[in-house]
């Protein structure tokens, strides 16, 4: 498994469709299919159920999904730490968010932030709301984006950024 395959796997899992995943990844649909076939061969099991309506995760695919997210997050973290140690990055911003928010809302903002602040490395951590609050408290993330459930936690400052 390599990071490229894992990113592709997550795009397919997110979209439930090879063609839409190919569009997101700027790859040909055949490249997506080839990568997923190679991944399944390497793992020795199918990670997707393929139907006329699209693809869904098998139990093995569901297990791989959480590992893929963590592996890619650690990969980004390692790159950031190495660049910071080499003096190539002036700052690091670690953002925690729910997967839905990352996929639907954050991408355009992160792109603009990166253009405006190229010297700041951005690391994205995907987790559930409870885990994000814990990570905020222990300092392993700098900011979290979650859905407003009307609960106020006085340890944190909250701001509405989107409806």
Chain segment 55-68, per-residue pLDDT in tens: 999 999 999 999 99
Distance of alpha carbon 147 from alpha carbon 142, whole angstroms: 17
Highest mean pLDDT among 84-88, 96-100, 156-160: 96-100
- Given this model, what pLDDT does residue 30 score? 92
- Per-residue pLDDT of 74-87, as tens digits, reads 888 888 778 777 77
Q: What's the pTM?
A: 0.58
Tokens of 130: 């409870």
Distance of alpha carbon 31 from alpha carbon 127, whole angstroms: 29
Tokens of 52: 């006329």
Between 112 and 43, the higher pLDDT residue: 43
Domains of the chain: 3-64 (1.10.10.10), 90-145 (3.40.190.10)
- Given this model, what pLDDT does residue 104 score? 79
- Given this model, what pLDDT does residue 132 score? 87
- Given this model, what pLDDT does residue 89 score? 61
């Amino acid at each position: 498994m390599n990071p490229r395959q894992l990113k592709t796997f997550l795009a397919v899992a997110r979209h439930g469709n090879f063609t839409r995943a190919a569009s997101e990844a700027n790859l040909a649909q055949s490249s997506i299919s080839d990568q997923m076939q190679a991944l399944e061969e390497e793992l020795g099991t199918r990670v997707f159920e393929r139907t006329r309506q699209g693809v869904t995760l098998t139990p093995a695919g569901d297990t791989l999904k959480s590992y893929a997210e963590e592996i890619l997050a650690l990969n980004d973290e390692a790159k950031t730490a190495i660049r910071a140690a080499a003096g190539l990055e002036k700052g690091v911003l670690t953002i925690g968010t729910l997967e839905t928010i990352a996929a639907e809302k954050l991408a355009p903002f992160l792109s603009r932030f990166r253009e405006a602040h190229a010297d700041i490395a951005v690391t994205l951590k995907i987790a559930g709301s409870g885990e994000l609050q814990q990570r905020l408290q222990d300092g392993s993330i700098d900011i979290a984006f979650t859905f407003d459930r009307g609960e106020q936690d006085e340890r944190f400052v909250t701001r509405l950024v989107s409806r």
